Structure 1
Amino acid sequence: LATLQGDVTFTVFSNISRGLLEKHKLIYGFLLAVAICKECDEINDDQLNFILKGPSSRNYSLDDKPAYATDNQWYSCRFLEVHFPSFDKLSASLRESIDVEIQDYKEDLSPAPKPVGSSKSWNQLLSASEKLMLIAALKEESLVIGVTEFIRLKLGKQFTEPPKNTTLPSLYEDISATTPLVFVLSPGSDPMTALIKFAQDKEYAEKLHSISLGQGQGPAAEALIKSGTKHGHWIFLQNCHLATSWMESMEKIVNNIAMGIESTHEGFRLYLSSMPVKTFPISVLQNSVKVTNEPPKGLRANLVRSLNDLDVGSFE
Structure 2
Amino acid sequence: NSIEYDPNFKLYITTNLSNPHYPPELCVKVNLLNFMATEDGLQDQMLGTVVTAENPDLEARRVALVQEDADNKKQLKELEDKILTLLKNAEGNILDDEVLINTLKDSKVTSNIIEEKVKEAMKTQDKIAKVRLGYVPVAFRAAQLFFCIADLNIVDPMYQYSLEWFINLFLMAIAKAPKGSNHDERVENLNETFTYVLYENVCRSLFAKDKLLFSFLLTIKILKGDNLLDPKLLRFFLQGSTSLEVRRPKPEGTDWLYDNAWLNLLGLSEMKPFNGVPPNLALEDAFVENLDFFKEVAETPDPEALLRKRYEDTYSLFERLCMLRALRPDMVVPAVQNFVGESRGNKFIEIPPFDLEACYADSNCATPLIFVLTPGADPMTELYKLADKLDMSRRMEAISLGQGQGPLAERAIEAAKDKGTWVCLQNCHLSVSWLPTLERICEDLSPDRVDANFRLWLTSEPSKHFPPFVLQNGVKMTNEPPKGLRANM
Q: Is the 8 A contact 1:247 1:281 kept in 2?
A: yes
One-letter code aligned to 1:201: K
Q: What CA distance in whole angstroms lies between the structure 2 residues aligned with 1:163 and 1:147?
A: 18
SS at match of 1:224: helix
Calculate the TM-score normalised by the size of structure 2: 0.56
SS at match of 1:125: coil
Question: Which structure carries more helix by proportion?
Answer: 2
- Correspondence 1:62 to 2:249: yes
1:200 Cα deviation after fit: 0.7
Change (3 A) 1:45 1:296: farther
Look up the match of 1:121: 310
Question: Which structure carries more strand by proportion?
Answer: 1
1:231 Cα deviation after fit: 0.2
Q: What CA distance in whole angstroms lies between the structure 2 residues aligned with 1:238 and 1:279?
A: 16
One-letter code aligned to 1:144: V
- The structure whose Rg is larger is 2
1:188 to 376, 380, 383: 376
2:367 to 179, 184, 204: 179
Change (3 A) 1:63 1:168: closer
Look up the match of 2:340: 151
Look up the match of 1:308: none
Look up the match of 1:135: 324
Q: Which whole-Å deviations, capped at 9, do the CAs of 1:244-270 have from their partners, x for residues lacking one?
A: 110010110011114x6x821111011
- Correspondence 1:47 to 2:243: no
SS at match of 2:313: helix
- Correspondence 1:96 to 2:286: no
Q: What CA distance in whole angstroms lies between the structure 1 residues aligned with 2:461 and 2:220?
A: 30
One-letter code aligned to 1:126: Y
Two-structure CA RMSD over aligned residues (Å)? 2.4
Q: Which whole-Å deviations, capped at 9, do the CAs of 1:211-270 have from their partners, x for residues lacking one?
A: 010010000000110011010001111110011110010110011114x6x821111011
Calculate the TM-score normalised by the size of structure 1: 0.85
Q: What CA distance in whole angstroms lies between the structure 1 residues aligned with 2:189 and 2:367?
A: 30
1:190 Cα deviation after fit: 1.5
Look up the match of 1:197: 385
2:480 to 278, 294, 298: 294
Q: What CA distance in whole angstroms lies between the structure 1 residues aligned with 2:341 and 2:399?
A: 42
Gaps of 5+ in 2: 1-186, 276-281
Look up the match of 2:202: 16
Q: Which whole-Å deviations, capped at 9, do the CAs of 1:116-141 have from their partners, x for residues lacking one?
A: x99x9323211011011011011111
1:111 Cα deviation after fit: 5.3
1:44 Cα deviation after fit: 2.0
SS at match of 2:480: coil
Q: Percent identity?
A: 36
Q: Is the 8 A contact 2:368 2:456 kept in 1?
A: yes
Q: What CA distance in whole angstroms lies between the structure 1 residues aligned with 2:205 and 2:454?
A: 22
One-letter code aligned to 1:28: F
1:24 Cα deviation after fit: 1.0
1:69 Cα deviation after fit: 1.2
Look up the match of 2:399: 211
Q: Which whole-Å deviations, capped at 9, do the CAs of 1:61-93 have from their partners, x for residues lacking one?
A: 335352221101111111111223335124324
Q: What CA distance in whole angstroms lies between the structure 1 residues aligned with 2:319 and 2:442?
A: 47
Look up the match of 2:141: none
Gaps of 5+ in 1: 100-107, 304-316
Change (3 A) 1:90 1:79: farther
Change (3 A) 1:248 1:29: same
TM superposition outliers: structure 1 runs of 4+ over 6 Å? none
Mapping 1:161-172, distance limit 5 Å = 161-164=350-353, 166-172=354-360
Change (3 A) 1:184 1:291: same
Q: Which whole-Å deviations, capped at 9, do the CAs of 1:272-307 have from their partners, x for residues lacking one?
A: 00000111111100010101122344322343xxxx
Change (3 A) 1:218 1:90: farther
